[in-house]
Amino acid sequence: MEYSVDDANKQIIIRTVVMLVTAISAIIVFALLIFIHELGHFSVAKMVDIKVHEFAIGMGPLLAKFKKGETMYSIRALPIGGYVKMEGEEEASTDERAFRNRPLWARIAVIVAGAFMNLVLGFVIFIILTYMSGGIVEPVIGELMDNMPAQKAGLMPGDRIVKIDNTKINIQDDIRFYLMYSKDKPIKITVKRNGKILAPFEVTPEYSEESQAYMLGYKAQVVEPTLMNTLSNSFYETIFYSKIVLFSLGELITGRVGFNQMSGPVGIVKEIGTAASLGIAPLLMLAALISINLGVFNLLPIPALDGSKIFFLLVEGIRRKPIDPEKEGLVHMIGFAMLILLMILVTFSDITKLIGS
């Protein structure tokens, strides 16, 4: 097949537009997530009267800055992070407003605030997505499918699934996730029918070739969003995806998920570009998932992450004596170097997959 010059030019224009959309979308998403995270640290630091020298979005070379009061606000070249530089955070200081000289609870609050704000952002995005979708899928049986497990077990339309085995069910995603790992094993489903909790029904899920998933055999009930059910559903969606992050980490540590399945900056940018090409809703959904991932991961006790700093503060509280700033700084420096190495390896894996696709 031959292509004309006009066809070639059109292809170049299309690829250029796709690259621009991907780049702009990625920058917006990364900047938003970094800003929200650092805003959490910054806001609480100001609230507990800690001196903040710099509030930075990005890392590396300085692009722009301005100063207001005692704090410099800056934008830096590499959109891979940010920081809030506080007096006495990484070194000893005699200033009474230094980080290390503030009460223990105040310091813990400052560190936790960044991850907490990422979780809040995920929650807010889920609220927006709920109203955009116009409906909430509830863990309630709307319509039974003939000769499928739910019907055979005696479940009825209107039954609200409240528990599977010993796991509480809050949203429909809880059911899908449980079935994904229980597969075709018999499960006990507890439902609420006409305001009463019934004895568990024993159900054996069946695999659907069409859906490529194990199913109970019903269509879930969809209701219109109200303020209360939107807040409730968004809250439990945030909790659900937070658990998914921890579960995925466990799968990685135990070797059930390979290292090559992880995504670094290149892989995330690619996914952001794909989501952006599908519309605002998929892009918002991906932003929510990345934000929740960032929030949960940052709370893990890994050196250089917020969770490690919280761990050192808790140790200080237990032993009632500050840890040597230089020793703590060395631990964080080693952790940071390991994280950078991991990022390089994952980025190399991303690029390899991108070239091979």
Amino acid in position 39: L
Mean pLDDT value of segment 37-46 = 96
Its pTM stands at 0.85
Residues 251-279: pLDDT tens digits? 777 766 655 665 555 566 667 777 777 78
pLDDT at position 52: 96
pLDDT at position 78: 81
Burial label, 290 (beta-carbon count in 10 A; 0-12, 13-18, 19+): buried
Residue 70 has pLDDT above 80, yes or no: yes
Residue 7 has pLDDT above 80, yes or no: no
Mean pLDDT value of segment 38-48 = 96
Burial label, 145 (beta-carbon count in 10 A; 0-12, 13-18, 19+): middle
143 is catalytic: no
Specify the higher pLDDT residue, 51 or 79.
51
Catalytic residue among 38, 87, 237, 271: 38
Residue 287 has pLDDT above 50, yes or no: yes
Which string of DSSP letters, residue by residue, matches 75-111? EEEEEEEEEEEETTSSS----TTSGGGS-HHHHHHHH
pLDDT band at 9 (very low <50, low <70, confident <90, very high): low
